[in-house]
Amino acid sequence: MSEVLSIIAIFISGGSLLFAVIAFKKSHRLEKRHLEITEKQDIERAIEQKKAKLFAAIEKQHIQSANLRRQAMKDVLIIRNEGLCEARDIIVRIDNKPIMEHPAIPNGLTEIKSVGPNSSIGYDLALNMGKYPPFEINITWEDNSGETGNYKTTLTI
């Protein structure tokens, strides 16, 4: 009888050992996968800190006037960088035309090619019949991430 109990105890011990090995391997796989995910997130976070994030909108702005009784407003195309890095070599196209060739951009303005982090640039707009939103805008730029940034949207008032 004690031999039977010894054999049963050996099988139980063997089963416990097998269960422990399987659990260890599964735990090791999960820990390895968790480490891979964490490393990938760290790399993505590091790249994100090297990126510029440009957005565009048409905003109404007050015009400074000597006549204080009258509040005048103007339309301005604002390009905002909400990223942590400078955007360089900015190319803006409105309705598939370079920004300075679009009829809503008055002559005499200078094209701006860079914008710092948490900053913005603005272009006064000359909106009238035939030059009125919606406009399709496409902005591309370079930054420290090594990737070309791109932003597309439809601008409305």
62/36 same-domain check = no
Q: Are residues 26 and 11 in the same domain?
A: yes
A 10 A CB-CB count for 151 gives 17
The rounded distance, in Å, linking the Cα atoms of 124 and 41 is 40
Residue finishing a domain among 12, 33, 48: 48
Q: Are residues 72 and 109 in the same domain?
A: yes
Is residue 134 reached through a cis peptide bond, with omega within 30 degrees of 0 on the bond before it?
yes
The pLDDT of residue 110 is: 93
Asked if 115 and 53 touch (Cβ cutoff 8 Å), the reply is: no
User: Are both 89 and 151 inside the same structural domain?
Assistant: yes
At residue 153, the pLDDT reads: 96
Q: Report the candidate in 60, 51, 52 with the shortest Cα–Cα distance to residue 122.
A: 60
Domain count, the chain: 2
Rounded CA gap, 18 and 25, in Å? 11
Task: Report the C-alpha gap between 121 and 119 in whole angstroms.
Answer: 7
Amino acid code (one letter) for 52: A
The domain boundary residue, chosen from 10, 27, 48: 48
The one-digit pLDDT tens for each residue of the chain (157 residues) are 778 778 887 878 888 888 888 888 888 888 888 888 888 887 777 777 789 999 999 998 887 766 656 677 889 999 999 999 999 999 999 999 999 999 999 988 999 999 999 999 999 998 886 678 899 999 999 999 989 999 999 998 8
**Do 107 and 141 belong to one domain?**
yes
Look up the domain containing 37 and give its range.
1-48
Instruction: Tell whether 33 and 60 lie within a shared domain.
Output: no
pLDDT of residue 116: 96
CATH number of domain containing 131:
2.60.40
Are residues 43 and 58 both part of a single domain? no
Question: pLDDT value at position 65?
Answer: 65
The neighbour count for residue 4, using CB atoms within 10 Å, is 8
Bond before 133 cis per omega within 30 degrees? no
**CA atoms in the 13 A half-sphere facing the CB of 123:** 25
Alpha-carbon distance of 100 to 92, in angstroms, equals 9
Same domain membership, residue 139 and residue 72: yes
Q: Are residues 62 and 44 in the same domain?
A: no
Same domain, 35 and 105: no
- Give the pLDDT score at 46: 76
Q: Indicate if 9 and 38 belong to the same structural domain.
A: yes
Residue 101: what pLDDT? 93
**Are both 75 and 149 inside the same structural domain?**
yes
